[in-house]
Amino acid sequence: MGSNNPSPEKGSTANNEIECRKLFLDFYSSQLNTHGSLIIGFSVVVFTLIGIWQAIRDILWWQNLLLCFSVFVASFSLWYLLFRHLAYGTLTGAVMFTEWKPDFDQDQCKNLPGQFANEMMKYVKKWNSRILLIVPTEFFISGTGKMRYGVVICLVLSILTAAFSYFLIG
């Protein structure tokens, strides 16, 4: 009809890009909601365990050890979920600001989300995005090969949390 209408190839490429962004935003939104709910739940568990630990002072050594270990496990889960929550927030920003021109080859048409995920990771690496200005976001994103560093950070923080709780109560 008029010359203002885009060609079918351009229109379908733009639609594919929008669909990929929508797909990732829906997924990250779901993950943010889930992680947020779990963070609240594990916060309640940690503070409840510390409250119980503080309320009953005359306990045996193994009960003390059990409560300390319980605080450690719950705080590990809390720290890990918190960092993952912040990583998904960073990835949500990457979805919004990543410049991407899809490879609209018929063979790769099924892998458009994979192409977009690669471009987002390039964006995150390019801007060297960090969680709380210290921890690289890559430590908490699956598929980067660096998640073990994130686990170590969470282990150290949860050991410190359990030790602080022990000395605060004792």
The closest of 35, 38, 70, 28 to 52, measured between CA atoms, is: 70
Q: Reduced to 3 states, what is the DSSP secondary structure of residue 131?
A: strand
The single-letter code of the amino acid at 54 is Q
In a domain, 49, yes or no: yes
Tens digit of pLDDT for each residue in 67-91?
999 999 999 999 999 999 999 888 8
In a domain, 87, yes or no: yes
Q: Is the pLDDT confidence value at 62 over 80?
A: yes
Do 37 and 133 touch, CB atoms closer than 8 A?
no
The secondary element (H helix, E strand) that includes residue 68 is helix 61-97
In a domain, 104, yes or no: yes
Q: How far apart are CA 68 and CA 62, in angstroms?
A: 10
Tens digit of pLDDT for each residue in 100-132?
766 655 555 566 677 777 777 777 777 777 887
Q: How far apart are CA 62 and CA 51, in angstroms?
A: 18
Domains: count for the chain: 1
What is the reported pTM?
A: 0.80
Do 154 and 80 touch, CB atoms closer than 8 A?
yes
In a domain, 84, yes or no: yes
In a domain, 159, yes or no: yes
